Amino acid sequence: MLVFFKERLVFLAVPKTGSTAYHSALAARASLVITDPPELKHAPLYRYDRFIRPIYDKICNAELETLAVVREPVSWLGSWYRYRQRPFLQGKPNSTAGISFDAFVLAYLKGDRPAFADVGSQARFLQPRPDGAPVTHLFRHDQPERLDHFLAERLGGAVETRRENTSPVQELELSPGVEKRLRRKCAAEFDLYESAG
């Protein structure tokens, strides 16, 4: 999470959306940088709303806008799948080694997900508290030029990122039946992505 107090902007770090690259590129400009532990770096909107926003609201009398990046849901799951295939995870419960992408997504669709498919939800990450505001600015992972333009205007300077923390390259394709089930059961994920500007 990055907080730009002067610019009244908070960059929420949705996992597997390129947030680490933006953290590296923008940390020097931010007034607050949270990189560790992951539970705070990747604090969802409701956690920001409950714990961090009140500090700025009550102590600084400042209302900050929020920004987040979302990824197309199949691509997002594919990134998690590939990320969990790294050799050092082999033999661990969250490894996807030896598991097909279809099997991974079917496990993700279960109510009680096995460890290897327990990767959260972008829609839940950005769901506001009952009394909280929705995320102010939402961008698509596959359209970085729009985010870069917004940040350059808002922060007063070009943003140069480099790829970091990337998953191994691998062509992935869901079978039509599994994709249909994913779109039906996780409609909120696709709606969120479609709503991004």
Q: What is the pLDDT of residues 41-90, one digit of tens each?
A: 999 999 999 999 999 999 999 999 999 999 999 999 999 999 999 999 99
Q: Is the pLDDT of residue 162 over 90?
A: no
Instruction: Read off the CATH number of the domain in which 160 is found.
Output: 3.40.50
Q: What is the pLDDT of residue 117?
A: 97
Phi, psi of 56 (to 5 degrees): -70, -35
Q: What is the pLDDT of residue 39?
A: 85
The total number of structural domains in the chain stands at: 1
Q: Is the pLDDT of residue 152 over 80?
A: yes
* In contact, 27 and 4? CB cutoff 8 Å: no
Predicted TM-score (pTM) of this structure: 0.92
For residue 160, give its domain range: 2-195
- Listed in sequence order, the residues at least 6 apart from 21 whose beta carbon sits closer than 8 Å to its beta carbon are 161, 162, 163, 164, 165
Residue type, 156: G
* In contact, 101 and 173? CB cutoff 8 Å: yes
Q: Is the pLDDT of residue 170 over 80?
A: no
Alpha helices in the chain (DSSP H): 19-26, 38-41, 45-47, 53-59, 73-83, 101-108, 122-125, 144-155, 176-185, 187-195
pLDDT band at 157 (very low <50, low <70, confident <90, very high): confident
Rounded mean pLDDT, 176-187: 98
Q: Is the pLDDT of residue 197 over 80?
A: no
